[in-house]
Structure formats: structure tokens, C-alpha cells
Amino acid sequence: MSNQVRVRIAPSPTGHLHVGTARSALYNLLFARHHQGIFILRLEDTDEVRSNETFTQDIIDGLKWLGMSWDEGVDIGGPCAPYRQTEKIEHYNQIANNLIKSGHAYFCYCTPEELTELKDNQKNAGLPARYDNRCRNLSTEKEEKYQAQGRIPAIRFKVDEPRVVTWHDAIRGDILIDSIDLGGDLVIIKSSGTAIYNFAVVIDDIDMKITHVIRGEDHIHNTAKQLLIYEALRAKPPVFAHVALMVDLDRHKLSKRAHGEAVHVAKYRKDGYMPEAMLNYLAQMSWTHPDGKEIYTLEEACQRFDLNAVSKSPAVFDVQRLNWFNSQYIRSMPLDVVAARCREFLKQYDLTKYSREDFLAIIACLRDALTTLSEIAQAAAFFFVDSVEIPADLRTTLLAKDPSKQVINELIGALDSMPFGDRVACKAIVDAIGKKLGLKGKDLYWPIRAALSGVTSGPDLGSTISILGKDRIKSRLEAALYDLNVV
């Protein structure tokens, strides 16, 4: 093994980027950066049936959106592309054949029908599914018979039983797995010539000199299988660290079947979450900052990350908690960054109606109320539409009252002297109208808000008036009065 820390994230492109995979990728990245090591992206794409380039792109796009960059890959003249297992088929087969020569593996001629029958019989007998190792010691005569039948063999790895496979896990401590629980001798090369995950991953990690494998605890039994292969290859295994799985509020494992798109990173990108917030939330799910901080940057997390501080307890994925993180980032990140990201969710509007300065002012006055950026479309609508629709209940219960009409008329009269561009001064004129009429609070502000935006709540009123400008305000105030048959 290299003295330099080398870690990897190795998703299978058989589905969209899962939030659990993203968290594992993040912990690998944090560990690598903390130790000035190397972080690698590798696609375990040997499932020729389920692997899909759409999923590959989704994984790459999701990691990049989250701000995670890898250090090694295939050089294609730009940002390095991830390594792919399908580029090493011959290499895997060569090593598997060497294991046959050394007595650690053998050809298995079982047909899919025979294996299905075996599994069904075990199920009917109430036994766990496992291969019965029937091809481990085939006679030459039997092999020749199967070959004459045209059977194409798989290659299986011998799993000695009874035996206890043990290792010290960097997160969970000492782990012991009885080899009888591993399902019998393992297929390592399918009859199609494609390497199975548990075999290919070992070869890749050896080839790439991986020093630490940080992944979900659902891989614990895989680790036991892989350690046996390391042993047969006389290779030193990496340090393993198994992170607790993500669960929902009811402590059920997060899965596409049970939770739909809510388990995919792409959903949160589409819904307008800040990648920095998502990354921060994922980091703190199972790791506690040594200073107890909740909000921190990726760079700061890299500096302070420690595997010893990663919890063994299930990580609860709480969308409300994520929403809190997201709202904090929307409020605190540079305004121009937030505004640029908001444009994606305002495509239905003509943004050229406002100058860059006014557009920034719109985002500035709205962002404190946002949980996700996608909410900006509804929150900002009244700034971009030609006219607003005032709900009937507001017209009859609010605007029809004489004080409301007085407020609107007074504001129309004050427009010529309104210092547009100065939100504080605009608000001061409204307050002066209230003082003149003996009105304040909702009696003063609600009629104006309703006429300008169609609702009684929203951003700072001074900002709203300042941004909308004289012509839009006058048009909407007069329309409100006209609607009440005042004009």
C-alpha cells in the first residue's frame, strides 16, 4: 500500500445518485483532503443489463453540483472522466484464471435453471439461500460432459467453512463474520465473462492502491467476502470503515421503492436546494464538528474531519432539518450568487423588465422568506406580471373598507414626491400617511400590499414600492380602486 491516503467512491450506474451514496462520497473526499490524499471516482458498471449512461451522467452531474471533484480518472483532454470497470474485463479474467491455477477458484457449470431450483428448494425447506458448492470438485469426466452439452462455465471462488472472518473497522470497531453466512462459494466471473462486483472491486482497489474504503454498513458482508479474496491474492487489504445507513423519521431505510425521488440528489437540485447546504447537511448527519458547529464550509469540514468522530447510529434523513440548512445558506451566501441561481426558477418571466441592480434588490427582499430557491417563482410573481389579481375575500373584507380606500388614495397622491430607489424613504412616506389618517399596522400596510401584490404579506414594503416604481404602483393602486367601483 502507498503511504499516501487514497480513497474512492465507486457507485454503480444502475440508478440515480442516491443521497446515501453522496454522503459516502463526501466522507471519502473529506478524509482524503484532511490527509492530503487522493480521491477517485470509479464507476462499477459491470452489470451489463442495468447499467445506463443516463445514470452515469446523473452521478457525475450530481457530484459536480455538490462541489465534489475527484483527482484521478481517464484523461480525455478535460476534467478527468471516472474510471470504468468495463474497461478491464480481460484483466479480471486473467486474475480469476490465476486463482483457478492456485486452487482458490474453479469452473462452475450450473445452469440458471439449476440454480433457481436449488434456491426454490431451500426456500421451501425454510433454509437460507446459498450455493451448495456442487461444482467445486467435479471429475474430469463430468466437466467434459458439461462442455459437450455446450455449457459455458462461470468461475467461483472457494469460501472455506467453518471460518470466522474478522477485521477492525475504523468506525464500528472489531467485526466478526462467520463464513457460513456468506452464501457458499462465490461467483467471481459470470458465464458471460463479466466480473462480479465483489471480485472486480478487490482487483480495482489493489490496482489503484486504495488505502481506505469508506462505505455504507450494508457492505459489511461484502467486506468479509472481499477479505477472503485479498487473502487468496496475497494482497494487503485497505482499512475498512462502514458508515451507518440513512433512515427516515420512522427509522426505515431510505430506498427508491419506499421514498421515491426523495432519495435522489437530482430532486434537491431541481427543487432549488443550495449545494452548499446539501453538502453541509450530509456531512453532519453522522459526523459531529469538534467545535459543535452546525454551519461550516466544505473547506472547514476537510480540515476538521475525523473518522473516529463518525457515529455508528443510523443517520436520520429529515427534510425539515435540511430545509433549515438550506434557508440559512439562502440568507447568508453572497447576493449575486443567490440571484444567479434564482434565474433558473424565473424563466417564465421577462427578467429584462428590471436592471441588474433592481433584480438583485428583488432577490434581496425576498430571500429571507425562502426555504428553497424554487419558491422564488411564486414569491416574485407580482414583480413581473403586468397586473395582479386581488382575491375576492380581500376585496370585500379589506379593500372595501373606507380606511383602506383612503390609504390607497393618499398613496396615489404621494407618488409624485416618492423617492423611488430609497426603500427607507419610501417606507417613511407610507408611515407618514398612516400618521395623517391615524392608521398603523395591518390597517395601514395591508391595503397597500393587497393592491400591489394580491396578498397581505411579503417582503419589506419600502423595498416593494422602491423596486416596482411609480408607473407600476400607480397602475395597480388605481386598478384596485376601480375594481371597487370607486373610480
Q: Please name the amino acid found at residue 192.
A: S
Burial class (CB in 10 A: 0-12, 13-18, 19+), 32: buried
Task: Judge whether 256 counts as a catalytic residue.
Answer: yes
Between CA 204 and CA 219 the distance in angstroms is 16
Cα–Cα distance measured from residue 304 to residue 283, given in angstroms and rounded to the nearest whole number = 11
- What is the four-CA torsion angle of 404, 405, 410, 411, rounded to 10 degrees? 70
CB 315 within 8 A of CB 286: yes
Q: Is the peptide bond before 162 cis (omega within 30 degrees of 0)?
A: yes
Going 350 to 354 to 355 to 357, the CA torsion angle's sign is negative
Please report, in angstroms and rounded to a whole number, the separation of the first and last CA atoms in the chain.
85
Distances (CA, A) of 13 to 10, 27, 83, 173, 178: 9, 20, 12, 31, 31
CB of 476 within 8 A of CB of 452? yes
- Which residues lie closer than 8 Å to 241 by C-beta, 6 or more apart? 169, 170, 171, 172, 212, 213, 214, 215, 307, 310
Residue pair 457/397 in contact (Cβ under 8 Å)? The answer is no
3-state secondary structure 235-276: CCCCEEEEECCEECCCCCECCHHHHHHHHEHHHHHHCCCCHH
CB-based contact 402:411 (threshold 8 Å): no
C-alpha cell at 333: 451566501
Q: Which of 256, 435, 440, 442 is catalytic?
A: 256
Classify 80 as helix, strand or coil.
coil
By annotation, the residues acting in catalysis are 256
